[in-house]
Each structure stands twice: as structure tokens, then as C-alpha cells.
Chain A
Amino acid sequence: MSNKNKGKKPNGEVDEVTGTETTGHEWDGLKELDTPAPRWWLTVWLITIVFAIGYWFVYPAWPSVSGHTKGLFGWTQYTKLKAEQKEIIDRQGAYLAKFHKETFEQVAADPAVYEFARSGGAVVFKENCAACHGTGGEGRKGYPNLNDDDWLFGGKVDTIYHTIQVGSRSTDPDTHATMMPRFGDILKPDEIQDAATYVLQLSHGQPAQPGASWIRGQAVYAANCVSCHGEDGVGNRDLGAPALNDAIWLYGGRRDDVVESVTNARAGVMPTWKHRLSDDNQRMLALYVHSLGGGE
């Protein structure tokens, strides 16, 4: 190392080994050398200060009483975000334009547009539908599982789209409005128990030796239920009457659940999405729901 500083400062203490003056600060016997910074280092440091001052003017920097300085070019994170969003929306535009004018059949035949729509539908679903139907459309008691192959109103893309539009027992004039009556007001508790026996057997399979309750229940069913739920409980999609002969129970498949359903009736409500979502979004949703696995 250079010894040029040696003896330059007569009042300072000079370290013997390096020839550099000390600052006079001492910690546990160690003294700090007052080695000058290299000139280039100081230069870079000064440049960064100048750069920082430039920064104040170019970007929003200083708070004021009513807001903050705006910067020379009006740059904000928000305008940057807007610009980036615009770029993405422009990129989506090409797909969206195609999707907008294509029918469901045409979309299905166009893999790129289909995947675009399905991804869009997934996002719309998570924002709007997941609250009731679950993040994966798995549903829960009273809210149908959209993954299975049991549909109240039909599982084709068109019918799903229609259901999204009008909802179920919603404010829309075209909504799926039929309701099951409270059979607690019509039937005696014993009759309801018998009907439950019959209905459960529809799902589980007819017993080899029908019991007395089953035989009575069959009569109750024929008199009260068959008009909507159909012969052998096949259901009726025009009315939204669920099939009773399958393994899927929207309100639970135990005897108590069935008795409760018959006694007090059930009337699940889904709002109309016509006015909340754009038509494109509703169609994307229909494609997405259809693709969950139960689509017909």
C-alpha cells in the first residue's frame, strides 16, 4: 500500500504498519484507521446523490398537504398497471372477438378459443359461484355438486347457460320457478315415513321382499309425488324435480333427511346472473361448468 499519507498530519497518531493516521477511536485496544476512500468511490457516491435528486423530479416523490409531487412524466404505479392491463386485454381481444361471435359448437371445435373461454369461466366461477358451489364446484348440502352427472335442469352447455341466466326461483320472470309443496300440511307423518321408505328404495334398489311400509309408500308416492318426480323416481328436468332413483342426494340421503325434505319441502335459490355478468362471461361459465366432468 502507498505510504504517501505518512506524516501529513502532525497532530494525528500514525499507525506504524500502514502509515495511515488513526481516527483516535479505540475499541478493546483496536484503533480505527482513517484510510481515505478511493477517489472513484467518492465519485460514484456523489453521482448516486445527484441521481437521487433527479429521481425526485422524474418520479412522484415528495408528500404535500393535499397529495404529492407528480413527477415530470406523470408516472405512477397505477398508470403502469393500467397500461399493463390494457396490454393483456388487447391480447385477450383476439380470442374474445372470436368467442363472442361463435356458437358453443364452434367454440368446442376451436381448441384455442375453447381453452381461453374455459380459463375465463374458471375465473368467473371462483369470483361469483364458489361461495355456494365451492371452489371446485363440489357443492354442499342444498347446493348442487356441479362435477357429477346429475342435473336438475339439464347438463348440456345450452341448458347450463340458460340456468345461469335465469337462476332458480330468482327474480327473473323466466326463472326455474316450480316448487315442491310442504307435504307436512297434506300427508300424515306415517304416510311421510312410508313415502320415505319407498323413495330410499328407489335409490338403493327395490327389495326382494317388499315390506308393508314400502307397499304403503308406493301408494303415497303414486298419489302425491309421481306427477313431478316421475315413474320410478326418474325426475323431471322441465320442472327441476330431482331424480330420486340415483345415488345423489342434494339434501342428504338418510331417512331423516328425506322425511325432512318431504315434510317441509326444499326450494333452493340461485340468483339470475343476467344482469351481473356480461353475456360472454355467462357463456364462459357455462363452458367451464360443463367441463367439470358431468357435462352432457
Chain B
Amino acid sequence: MVQLFAKAEKIYPQRTHGLFRTLKWAAMAVLLGIYYAAPWLRYDRGPHVPDQAILIDLVGQRGYFFGIEIWPQEVYLLVGILILAAIGLFFATSLLGRVWCGYACPQTVWTDLFVLVEHIIQGDRNARRKLDAAPWSIGKLWKKILTHVVWLLIGLATGGAWVFYFNDAPTLVDGLLHFDLPTLTWTWILALTLSTYFMAGFARENICKYACPYARFQSAMFDRDTLIISYATERGEPRGKHKLGTDWEGKGHCIDCTACVVVCPMGIDIRDGLQYECISCGLCVDACNHVMEKMLLPKGLIHYDTENNQKRRSEEIATKVPASRGRMKWIRPRTVFYATILSFVGALMLSAIILRTETDLNIIHNRSPLYVRLADGDIRNNYQIKVLNKTHVDRDYTVSIEGMTPAEIRLLAAGDVAVPSLKVPANSVGEFRVQLIDHTDGAARVPITFILKDPVTGKVARHVSYFIRPQN
């Protein structure tokens, strides 16, 4: 008989205490705090502009992040952010292993939060196991229902916070309280409520094991100097039960208590060595350190260490040299490589933001026809011009040409009306037609530069184009 499937064993991670558990709590508090609170931060940008510090305004086609304002034309900044995020992950991974997975990944953070809820309502590992194995009873039912209700509420808060990033938060809360929101908003809230509920309540470590591509390709960033959760085999083996006060002679320091196994949220035994499931969260380190303390042994039988350190230590033990301290080799070709890309892209992004202009100019030289011969023999070129006024005040730009002195510059606004200057309202795009007229003799193709000047601030925007005459 072919076995169609293997049931995944449910993992009941036991609560532990210690440095890394504390770090995880801290990371959870900070990250969830940022996620839920950030949309409520206000940032004054003046009138007629949203005052939400972080806002993706899809309808208005603007992205706001404190003092930074992004137009659709500047979406390359998003590319930069994605590159920074990817290389940042690579860099951290090559140095510290999968700490992103262990501490900061939303899947980990929300799963941790959901397990906390389980722990509060149903108790620790053994109590939860017993409860699952027990026949259905009123007590079991209400505990289970309460757990799922709290999970759904957290999911609701997650979905609710998500939509705040795309709408003015206080306005949205008002709509939420009056059940008066667009269908799309409700859909997003529902989708994120359910996905949070399923991901953190049920899928949990399976996402990391089977679904997450980052989990898998992070192994490509590993080398022998990357920090990984290591079990000191040379010290721990041969493992076996130990009674306090008896002699350690011939025995390893691992007392085979499986404390490291029961706390593992991924359900692995770290003593088997580095495994693709390990998310480097360090909970087994905390668990083992407690045991070592009780056994009056030095901590760190399981610890963050590199493969090279482990190897060296084994050799030192084999050759009876006194064990040296672990060394961390921070500067390696791959870390230097990632750091270089990171600083390069970071510098590019920074300069893009610093050098971001208030005004952008786009000019298209009409191609059909390239030039027009007028009745008096002069040549006219037509241009479509778009002026992006990114400031929050109305502007009135003057236009001049560099590279030639045309006989006439004609600016045309809507209604085919000749205008002396280009009026562009605050925070908007102005579209105009420009006509340059010049005499027929001269070079067939004259490179020119359009110069747009804001007389108030004196700031200019430039755009390169050309003036075309008939050949000969």
C-alpha cells in the first residue's frame, strides 16, 4: 500500500527563560509596536496634504514617509528599498546566521504571539498536549474557543492596522466604527485577519519549512565563519543521564534531558547539527544553559558559534591543547561584498532623496511631424511638456531655451491659449504645448536645453531636447 501522506507532528514548544527569550520578547514588543502604532504618527506637511507620517495614498498616487514624499515617477526608490532589504538580509545572514528568521520575521513574531496566547489560556507544553489528547469537555471547549477567539482578534487587529497604512487612520477608524468602509478595505481586513489566523495559528513552522524561499536560500549565504546555533559535540558526547554529585569521568556534559528539543519551535533536535529547519532563535541555548547551571557546569553546551570555531576546539581537545576562546571572523570576502553593495545602494538612495528636485520637467519632441514649415518659410517644432510641481504651493514657471535663440517661443495652455508662463497648481502635474519657431537656415539638428525657472525661489529644472530643420 502506497503511503499518500505523513501527518505532520504538532509542535508544543515549551516556555523557556533567558537572554535569547528576553531578546525575542523585546523584538516582538518593538516590532509589533511599530506595526500597530506607526500609522498613528502625525507629520505636518502643510494644508491640503495628508498629515499621516507613513501613508501610501493609492488614490492620490503618493507615498509619504515623514519628510519624504514619493510620486509614481519616483517608484525607483521602491526598487532601492527592495535591494537594501534583500542585501541587508544577506549581510545579516552571512554574519549572524538566520537571525532574521529567529527574531524579526513576521511569521516568527506572530507565531510567537499566538503561542503566548495558547500558553496563557491552555498552559505550557505538557498541559497543552494533555488538553489535546483529552476527550472533549466543557473545560476543553471553552479553552479552545477562547484561544481561537483571541487569535482571530489579533488577526483582526493585524488586518485593521494594515489598512491604516493606506488611508488616513483616524478617518478610517471612524468609518470602521460606523461600518462604513469601501468593500476593498473590508476585503483587506478580512483577508489579513484570516491569513494571520491560519499562518500563525496553524501553518506556523511549516511555512518556514515548505513555503518560504528565503529560509532555503539563506543557506547560500552561510560559510564556516557564520554564527549558527551549535551543539558542542566534543564537550557534550557521550551523552547520558547524570546524577548531580557523581563523577563526570568518561561522560559528556549532555545529560540527554531533551530540554533543547522541547523548547524548539521548529521541532528539531539541535544536537543533530545544523539543519535547514533551524531558525537560529536561540531558545535551545536558553534551555540548555538552565540545565548546565543546575548541573554546576559552564554554560554554552549549546551556543551561537561558527563551524570553524567548533572544528578548532575539537582539534585542541584531540591534541590536549588548552581550549581557546571562540573567535569571530567578521571580515570575509562575502561580508565585504554584501557590505559594499549595501553601502553603494544606500548612498545612491540617500543622494536620490537628498537631491530630489521640487520640480521635474518632461519634454517630448513631437515626431509626427518632426518639423513644420510655415507659410513664411520659417520652421516650427512642437513639444509636449509636463511639469511636475512637487511642492505644496502653486508655482508660475518661466521657460527659456539654451543652445539656440529661437525667433519665437510660444507656450500654449489648455484652450490653445498662449500664456506668458506655465502655471502649475501645488502638488500636481501641468501639461502644456510648446512651439519653437526659427528661420529655415541653420543646422538640421540643434541640441537644446529647456530651462524651467521658478522666479520665487530661483530654482531651475532642465531638460535636454533638440530642434529639427529640414535637411539641406
Do A and B interact? yes
Kindly list chain B residues whose C-beta atoms are within 8 Å of the C-beta of A111: 413-415
Q: How far is the CA of A42 from the CA of B433 in the complex (A)?
A: 62
Nearest Cβ on chain B to A132's Cβ, whole angstroms: 14
Q: Contacts A39-B6, A114-B415; is A291 near B433 (CB within 8 Å)?
A: yes
Kindly list chain A residues whose C-beta atoms are within 8 Å of the C-beta of B416: 108, 114, 287, 290-291, 295
Q: Contacts A38-B210, A42-B4, A115-B414; is A148 near B373 (CB within 8 Å)?
A: yes
Kindly list chain B residues whose C-beta atoms are within 8 Å of the C-beta of A248: 373-375
Within residues 398 to 418 of chain B, which ones have a CB less than 8 A from any CB in chain A? 412-417
Interface flag for A135 (CB, 8 Å): yes
Kindly list chain A residues whose C-beta atoms are within 8 Å of the C-beta of B210: 38, 41
Q: Contacts A5-B3, A42-B4, A42-B5; is A108 near B415 (CB within 8 Å)?
A: yes
Cβ-neighbour of B375 out of A36, A37, A38, A150 (below 8 A): A150
**8 sample A-B contacts, Cβ–Cβ < 8 Å, listed by A number:** A37-B5, A40-B8, A40-B206, A149-B375, A150-B375, A243-B375, A292-B382, A294-B372
Interface flag for B9 (CB, 8 Å): yes
Query: Is A39 a contact of B8 with CB atoms below 8 Å?
Result: yes
Q: Is the interface of A mostly helix, strand, loop or mixed?
A: loop
Kindly list chain A residues whose C-beta atoms are within 8 Å of the C-beta of B271: none
Cβ-neighbour of B368 out of A35, A115, A118, A134 (below 8 A): A134
Kindly list chain B residues whose C-beta atoms are within 8 Å of the C-beta of A50: none
Contact with B along A1-39 (1 / 0, CB 8 A): 010110010000000000000000000000000111111
Q: How far is the CA of A136 from the CA of B384 in the complex (A)?
A: 13
Contact with B along A161-201 (1 / 0, CB 8 A): 00000000000000000000000000000000000000000
Q: Is the interface of B mostly helix, strand, loop or mixed?
A: loop
Interface flag for A147 (CB, 8 Å): yes
Q: How far is the CA of A29 from the CA of B375 in the complex (A)?
A: 85
Query: Is A41 a contact of B5 with CB atoms below 8 Å?
Result: yes
Kindly list chain B residues whose C-beta atoms are within 8 Å of the C-beta of A134: 368-369
Kindly list chain A residues whose C-beta atoms are within 8 Å of the C-beta of B5: 36-39, 41-42
Q: How far is the CA of A247 from the CA of B2 in the complex (A)?
A: 89
Contact with A along B375-395 (1 / 0, CB 8 A): 111001010000000000000
Contact with A along B203-226 (1 / 0, CB 8 A): 100100010000000000000000
Query: Is A293 a contact of B382 with CB atoms below 8 Å?
Result: yes
Query: Is B376 a contact of A247 with CB atoms below 8 Å?
Result: yes
Interface flag for A280 (CB, 8 Å): no
Q: How far is the CA of A130 from the CA of B415 in the complex (A)?
A: 23
Nearest Cβ on chain A to B197's Cβ, whole angstroms: 15
Interface flag for B48 (CB, 8 Å): no
- With A107-B415, A150-B375 given, name 10 new contacts (CB 8 A): A2-B6, A38-B8, A40-B203, A111-B415, A114-B416, A135-B368, A145-B372, A291-B433, A293-B372, A293-B433
- Chain B CB count within 10 A is highest, among A2, A38, A287, for A38
Nearest Cβ on chain B to A91's Cβ, whole angstroms: 15
Query: Is B376 a contact of A38 with CB atoms below 8 Å?
Result: no
Interface flag for B367 (CB, 8 Å): yes
Kindly list chain A residues whose C-beta atoms are within 8 Å of the C-beta of B368: 134-136, 138
Kindly list chain B residues whose C-beta atoms are within 8 Å of the C-beta of A35: 6
Interface flag for A232 (CB, 8 Å): no
Interface flag for A109 (CB, 8 Å): yes
Within residues 47 to 86 of chain B, which ones have a CB less than 8 A from any CB in chain A? none
Query: Is A145 a contact of B377 with CB atoms below 8 Å?
Result: no
**Nearest CB in chain B to that of A110: its residue:** B415
Kindly list chain A residues whose C-beta atoms are within 8 Å of the C-beta of B376: 246-247
Kindly list chain B residues whose C-beta atoms are within 8 Å of the C-beta of A40: 8, 203, 206
Kindly list chain B residues whose C-beta atoms are within 8 Å of the C-beta of A42: 4-5
Interface flag for B435 (CB, 8 Å): yes
Q: How far is the CA of A40 from the CA of B372 in the complex (A)?
A: 69
Within residues 403 to 455 of chain B, which ones have a CB less than 8 A from any CB in chain A? 412-417, 431, 433, 435, 440
Residues of B within 8 A of A (CB): 2-9, 203, 206, 210, 366-369, 372-377, 380, 382, 412-417, 431, 433, 435, 440
Query: Is A37 a contact of B8 with CB atoms below 8 Å?
Result: no
Query: Is A147 a contact of B8 with CB atoms below 8 Å?
Result: no
Query: Is A148 a contact of B8 with CB atoms below 8 Å?
Result: no
**Nearest CB in chain B to that of A157: its residue:** B416
Return the 5 tightest CB-CB contacts between A and B, nearest first.
A136-B368, A138-B369, A111-B414, A246-B375, A247-B377
Query: Is B374 a contact of A247 with CB atoms below 8 Å?
Result: yes
Q: How far is the CA of A4 from the CA of B7 in the complex (A)?
A: 11
Query: Is B415 a contact of A109 with CB atoms below 8 Å?
Result: yes
Q: Contacts A109-B415, A111-B414; is A37 near B372 (CB within 8 Å)?
A: no
Cβ-neighbour of A147 out of B3, B369, B413 (below 8 A): B369
Nearest Cβ on chain B to A274's Cβ, whole angstroms: 24
Nearest Cβ on chain A to B436's Cβ, whole angstroms: 11
Kindly list chain A residues whose C-beta atoms are within 8 Å of the C-beta of B415: 107-111, 114
**Nearest CB in chain A to that of B369: its residue:** A138
Q: How far is the CA of A135 from the CA of B368 in the complex (A)?
A: 7
Query: Is B3 a contact of A108 with CB atoms below 8 Å?
Result: no
- Chain A CB count within 10 A is highest, among B4, B8, B367, B415, for B415
**Nearest CB in chain B to that of A150: its residue:** B375
Q: Contacts A108-B416, A290-B416; is A247 near B367 (CB within 8 Å)?
A: no
**Nearest CB in chain A to that of B381: its residue:** A293
Q: How far is the CA of A295 from the CA of B435 in the complex (A)?
A: 13
Kindly list chain B residues whose C-beta atoms are within 8 Å of the C-beta of A145: 369, 372-373
**Nearest CB in chain B to that of A245: its residue:** B375
Within residues 224 to 250 of chain A, which ones have a CB less than 8 A from any CB in chain B? 243, 246-248
- Chain B CB count within 10 A is highest, among A5, A39, A287, for A39
Within residues 102 to 130 of chain A, which ones have a CB less than 8 A from any CB in chain B? 107-112, 114-115, 118
Nearest Cβ on chain A to B429's Cβ, whole angstroms: 12
Kindly list chain A residues whose C-beta atoms are within 8 Å of the C-beta of B2: 34
Kindly list chain A residues whose C-beta atoms are within 8 Å of the C-beta of B7: 39
Kindly list chain B residues whose C-beta atoms are within 8 Å of the C-beta of A112: 414
Q: Contacts A41-B210, A108-B416, A115-B414; is A149 near B374 (CB within 8 Å)?
A: yes
Nearest Cβ on chain A to B174's Cβ, whole angstroms: 28
Nearest Cβ on chain B to A30's Cβ, whole angstroms: 20
Q: How far is the CA of A150 from the CA of B372 in the complex (A)?
A: 11
